[in-house]
Copies of this chain bind each other. A is one copy, B any other.
Amino acid sequence: MLSKNQIKLIKSLSQKKFRSQHGLFTVEGIKGISEFVNSSFSLNQIYSLENVFDVDDSKMTLVTDSDLKKITQLKTPNMAVGVFEIPKSKVIDNSRLIVALDDVRDPGNLGTIIRLCDWFGINDLVCSKATVDCFNSKVVQATMGSLTRVNVSYVELDTFLFNSENEIFGTFMEGENIYKADLPERGVLVLGNEANGISKTIENKVTKHLGIPRFGNLKATESLNVATATAICLSEFKRKII
């Protein structure tokens, strides 16, 4: 049986300010929790209907259905809630291609982008402070475990780009055709906010404007979703390696 204080703590982790205060975040479901258990993340505690995890007994609390309902952030709880420690940011490796996000707000988009970074072997994802928190439970869910393999750092993006010695790429409507551009193995690729794209401040730091050509009705077609734009750009940066 969980104490009121335990329930209060776990529930509070749905909010960023309490995640930061406690240095903890939650993962739900057996598959997701197992991915984090088998990664470099430190486990705080698992609360589960059954003990199906390969962890020390002291890290495992069996709970009832009714307790699980009190601590889940899902409509229908998924067997178990795992609480993990938010890791310290690792050093960013500037010798490789880095993806940077300028105020991406949608958890689903951030989750998909983390999954894409994992797929395309991007180690470092650098986010502006106003980008949605990667330990938001919707993001964690959408990454399908990829969050354990991509180093996500929140920085003053402006300053980070100012200090970068590599080329800084951004996607814009009128940029150079990405299919013909010279794309190096190191650099920073910046993607912008869902509604406004890359902000003026960040655009000033971009050294090369890229564009994804449209093949449809040129007047009418809306811009691409930021996650699909990321997919196309990363594919283009990486395709020549193989």
Contact = CB atoms under 8 A, between A and B. Distances in A.
A222 interface: yes
Assembly stoichiometry (copies) = 2
B222 A144 contact: yes
A177 interface: yes
Contact of A116 (B119, B146, B228): B228
A215 B238 contact: yes
Contacts of A221: 118-119, 146, 149
Interface in A227-242: 227-228, 231-232, 235-236, 238-242
A214 B119 contact: yes
A154 B228 CA distance: 24
Interface residues of A, number: 40
A149 B222 CA distance: 11
Given A177-B242, A232-B231, A118 B149 contact: no
B224 A119 contact: yes
24 contacts: A115-B222, A115-B224, A115-B225, A116-B224, A117-B216, A118-B221, A118-B222, A119-B214, A119-B215, A119-B224, A120-B216, A121-B216, A145-B220, A146-B221, A146-B222, A148-B220, A177-B242, A179-B239, A179-B240, A215-B238, A231-B231, A231-B232, A232-B232, A232-B235
Given A115-B225, A149-B216, 9 more contacts: A118-B220, A118-B222, A144-B222, A146-B221, A146-B222, A149-B221, A213-B242, A227-B227, A235-B235
